[in-house]
Amino acid sequence: MANVTIIGGHGKVALLAEPKLVEAGHAVNAVIRNPEQTEEVEKTGASAVILDIQNASTTEIENMLKQTKTDVLVWSAGAGGGDRQRTFAIDQDAAIRTMEAAQYTGVKRYIMVSYMGAGNGHRVPESNGFYAYETAKAVADAFLRDSDLDFTILGPGALTTDPAEGIEVNNDPENNETPRELVAEVIAAVVDDDSTIGKAIPFSAGSDSVKQAIAAAPAKRDFKK
């Protein structure tokens, strides 16, 4: 079993993924900025780690990875849109610092929660708040693909609160509703499946088995059609 560290440990997806990883036998560290979130995070069975990832230096992230004895690093953080400067600071710059820190400390396995359209250009004008997110995620994903890390990039579609009933591995922006619970299930499954290393897996709600679908996903390194 592995020591799994989740960046963005109080996020809606992370709070669903943490108990699944704990149930699978992993030791889980949930990286959070606000100490007041500790109790909620630790109810999942994870250990809270306080670190402001937006402002943490690469060295500070390295120290955190060493202290937690991280084997697998999961990026599940995000600025949440809106503020362009914060979006670039978190979704691009901070994400890249975690990749650099992982490489410097020998943490080979890195799982990125991205989104289905990442790297396919801009679907909105520059004046739209989502434009910065599209740009930041494309840059961060490209940096990860060019790194020496054993990466998997996950590309869920539009997130919903629906229950997870199955998966479809696809890249269809017109049919992309994706329960957050399904994203959590995919994170847990990918941690245990080294056949997903080097893959970018776009997915949404469907009827297939998660474990079988991710194992059978094409060995693509991006989401471009």
Model confidence over 137-196: pLDDT tens digits?
999 999 999 999 999 999 999 999 999 999 999 988 777 999 999 999 999 999 999 999
Determine how β-strand 167-169 pairs with β-strand 199-205. Answer: antiparallel
Q: Are strands 150-156 and 167-169 parallel, antiparallel or unpaired?
A: unpaired
Assign 223 a pLDDT band (cuts: 50, 70, 90).
confident
Distance, in Å, from the CA atom of 19 to the CA atom of 17, rounded to the nearest integer, reads: 6
Arithmetic mean of pLDDT, 36-47: 98
Q: What pLDDT shows up at residue 100?
A: 98
Q: Residue ranges per domain, the chain?
A: 3-157+184-198
What confidence tens digit (pLDDT) does each residue in 123-135 have?
666 666 677 888 8
Instruction: Report the CATH number of the 3-157+184-198 domain.
Output: 3.40.50.720
Q: What is the pLDDT, as a whole number, of residue 173?
A: 73
Phi then psi for residue 104, to 5 deg, are -65, -30
Q: Which amino acid is at 188?
A: A
Alpha-carbon gap, residue 69 to 92, rounded angstroms: 24
pLDDT tops 70 at residue 121: no
Residue-wise pLDDT for 64-114, tens only, equals 999 999 999 999 999 776 688 999 999 999 999 999 999 999 999 999 999
**15, pLDDT greater than 90:** yes
54-58, 132-136, 138-142, 197-201, range with the lowest pLDDT: 132-136
pLDDT at 117: 79
